[in-house]
Structure 1
Amino acid sequence: MQLARLLPLALLAPLALASCSNDNDSSDSANAAKLEVRLMDAPGDFRTVVLDVQKIEVHLKEEKDPAVYQLLPFKAQTINVLDYVNGKSALLVSTDFTPGDLSEIRLLLGPDSYVIGRDGQRYDLKTPSGQTSGVKLKLDKASLQARQTFQLLLDFDVAKSIVERGNWKPGNDKKERYLLKPVIRVVAQDIAGGLRGTVTPAAALPQVLAIRSSITVPDTFSTAADASGAFQLSGIPAGTYRVEFFPTTTAPTGQPAYRVITRTGITVTNNQVSELGQTTLN
């Protein structure tokens, strides 16, 4: 990544050398890669899930010291990850970067993460490791090429990441109810398939599981339909999928019951979003 030169040093350098340096900077900038980091969410049973993200760093594959990370230009902020479902994502970083291979990305979380439960109450999230050594995510095949954009999509799984303490009871200190143990799937730019559709009735609020059945050990990816019945899974590998819909509510009295529906033989192609159309759950 280009680092700004210190002004006093620049003033001391001969004019000819400064001109040469500027030419090199322009050449380096023209050959830089673009690195983007985005965050999206697989929903859980909460009204709000806020992460206090302080820093984002990457480890270079060529760096021999495992403790040395490169800080990315990111402004510390709190992010409600439930705002980024159904194909939406938050752009956290967009920067020029020296071409090369990345081996790891690390998020450092602050003390102000919290959830608002279905009961409307706020519960602080304790992050045992995220506040010290950070949340470390290994990267496979993260190779940045000159004059190309490389995207890391961080898919945060709320349902698996927020763990209720076993000994917590109603009436206990709200700060002690939940632990944050982040489960985040990293999707590189070259894995860019997608799947979207709608469900009816939307009031069923189903969980949607896409199970890649075309490999020996199936992969499973999940999301939830929104209030309009729409859903989208992004950044999933190409292959043949079985898609399962699990209603999370019951039908009103006098209306047909909501059913678990399974659709098979769904094809996902790299760099395309496959349309599943409408699925009826009653």
Structure 2
Amino acid sequence: MRMPSWKHLANGVLVLSTALFMAACSKNDNDGKSRIQVALTDDPGDFKAVYIDVQEINVNYNESDDNGWQTLPGMKKGRYNLLTLVNDKDTVLADADIASGTIKEIRLVLGDDNWVVTNAGDSIKLQTPSGQSSGVKLKINMPVSEGVLYKLLLDFDVAKSIHEAGSAGKYILKPVIRTVLQAQGGSIKGVVLPAVVPSAVLVLNGTDTVASTYSGVGGAYLLKGIAAGSYTLHYISTDSTLQPATKQGVVVETGKVTAVDTLTLVK
């Protein structure tokens, strides 16, 4: 996206609604947490389609497997055809703010609407062992840092997960899933004053805007998921009497939060 003129940017910012301001404040209230996106992908198997019924995703920060489970909000429940998620394709199941710390385990809870479509075109309901009724538990044991965006990839191995039962035409689902947790770039945080009105904060790489947000409570802002590199920050207040400002040479590193010195806009 090309960077428009300061005049056009300022005009655009001036029409910021009260709803957007409240959203910005709410967003910055979560700045003390990490953010995680859980995505599903697949290693192919010898079927026409494989549908799994995803109902819930939980995380556990506790050494004990019996307690400490927390449900991720904003889960996209439903049936997913795993065979459409091959060749580096994935789909995001959850995108949520979580507490910082070390994630010990994740639990994928499936419903009972799981099906396989054979190469002959037969649709057969998958049987799930009773021991998996509480969910598929996957070891993670990796830290997540405050203010950083992470992506957890659940790589579902269809060939190893679906087994033909002793009687013909029956299949059992025993999920085999590989997990990959990675930081998605780094983050930038800081404060822009005066804080009585929100300001737009834009991250530019040359003339391209790669991320943007509005300052919230106390003038704080946080931008996540920015690729490693050097950027210029542009600040524009919703108060047209305040002059825009820039800060150059802001370096972002993967998995880290870059703290920028407080900047005060002047008239």
Amino acid at match of 2:159: A
Structure 1 partner of 2:167: 168
- Determine whether 1:182 maps to 2:175: yes
TM-score w.r.t. structure 1 length? Answer: 0.53
The within-5 A match list for 1:9-158 is 28-61=29-62, 64=64, 66-73=66-73, 74-129=75-130, 132-140=133-141, 142-158=142-158
Q: Secondary structure at the match of 1:160?
A: helix
Amino acid at match of 1:156: F
**Aligned Cα RMSD in Å?**
2.5
Alpha-carbon distance change, 34 to 190 in structure 1, aligned in 2, over 3 angstroms: closer
Distance 2:60 2:85 in 1: 26
Distance 1:154 1:84 in 2: 11
Cα deviation, residue 75, structure 1: 3.1
Cα deviation, residue 144, structure 1: 1.2
Alpha-carbon distance change, 129 to 151 in structure 1, aligned in 2, over 3 angstroms: farther
Bigger relative contact order (CA 8 A; separation at least 6): 2
Q: Secondary structure at the match of 2:167?
A: coil
Cα deviation, residue 37, structure 1: 0.5
Q: Secondary structure at the match of 2:30?
A: helix
Cα deviation, residue 179, structure 1: 0.2
Gaps of 5+ in 2: 1-24, 186-253, 255-267
1:75-111 deviation line (CA, Å, top 9, x unaligned) = 3211001111101011011111121111000011111
Alpha-carbon distance change, 119 to 130 in structure 1, aligned in 2, over 3 angstroms: farther
1:150-197 deviation line (CA, Å, top 9, x unaligned) = 1111000000000001x223xxxx4xx1000000001111699xxxxx
Q: Secondary structure at the match of 1:46?
A: coil
1:64-83 deviation line (CA, Å, top 9, x unaligned) = 56233100121321100111
Q: Is the 8 A contact 1:60 1:103 kept in 2?
A: yes
Alpha-carbon distance change, 143 to 28 in structure 1, aligned in 2, over 3 angstroms: farther
Distance 1:54 1:106 in 2: 11
Q: How many residues align?
A: 161
Structure 1 partner of 2:13: none
Identity of aligned residues (%): 43
Q: Is the 8 A contact 1:109 1:130 kept in 2?
A: no
Amino acid at match of 2:83: L
TM-score w.r.t. structure 2 length? Answer: 0.56
Amino acid at match of 1:93: A
Alpha-carbon distance change, 137 to 47 in structure 1, aligned in 2, over 3 angstroms: same
